[in-house]
Amino acid sequence: MNNRPIGIFDSGLGGLSAVKELLDILPNENIVYFGDTGRVPYGTKSKSTILKYARQDENFLLENDVKMVIAACGTVSSVAFDTGKDLGVPFLGVVEPASRQAVSATKNKKIGVIGTATTVSSGSYKKAIQRIDKDIKVYAKACSMFVSLVEEGWVDENDEITIKTAERYLKPLKDEGVDVLILGCTHFPLISAIIGKVMGENVTLISSGGACAKEAAAYLKDNNMLNQSEEESTRKFFVSDTPDSFLKTAKLFLNTDKDLHAKQIRIEDYGK
Ligand code: DGL
Give me the phi and psi of 143, to 5 degrees please. -125, 60
CB of 11 closer than 6 A to ligand 1?
A: yes
- Whether residue 134 is found in the same domain as residue 172: yes
1 in any annotated domain: no
Q: Taking the alpha carbons of 216, 221, 223, 229 in that order, is the dihedral positive or negative?
A: positive
- Whether residue 202 is found in the same domain as residue 118: yes
What's 115's domain CATH number? 3.40.50.1860
Residue burial 166-175, b: 16+ Cβ < 10 Å; e: rest: beebbeebbe
- Whether residue 46 is found in the same domain as residue 118: no
CB of 98 closer than 6 A to ligand 1?
A: no
212 is catalytic: no
CB of 187 closer than 6 A to ligand 1?
A: yes
CA of 30 to the centre of ligand 1 (A): 24
- Whether residue 237 is found in the same domain as residue 201: no
Domain that holds residue 73: 6-93+211-269
Region of residue 206 (phi > 0: left; psi between -120 and 50: alpha; otherwise: beta): beta
Mutate to test the pocket of ligand 1, among 37, 42, 149, 207 (most ligand atoms within 8 A of CB): 42
Report yes or no on whether pTM surpasses 0.85.
yes
H or E, element range at 131: helix 124-132
Asked if 77 and 99 touch (Cβ cutoff 8 Å), the reply is no
Asked if 211 and 98 touch (Cβ cutoff 8 Å), the reply is yes
CA of 230 to the centre of ligand 1 (A): 35
27 in any annotated domain: yes
220 in any annotated domain: yes
Q: Which of residues 192, 208, 224 is at a domain's end?
A: 208
Number of domains in the chain: 2
Strand partners, 137: 110
Say which of 73, 150, 170, 178 is annotated catalytic.
73
CB of 14 closer than 6 A to ligand 1?
A: yes
- Residue pLDDT tens, the chain, 272 long: 889 999 999 999 889 999 999 999 999 999 999 999 999 989 889 999 999 999 999 999 999 999 999 999 999 999 999 999 999 999 999 999 999 999 999 999 999 999 999 999 999 999 999 999 999 999 999 999 998 898 788 999 999 999 999 999 999 999 999 999 999 999 999 999 999 999 999 999 999 999 999 999 999 999 999 999 888 889 999 999 999 878 888 888 898 887 789 999 999 999 86
For 14, what's the count of Cα atoms within 13 Å in the CB-facing half-sphere?
35
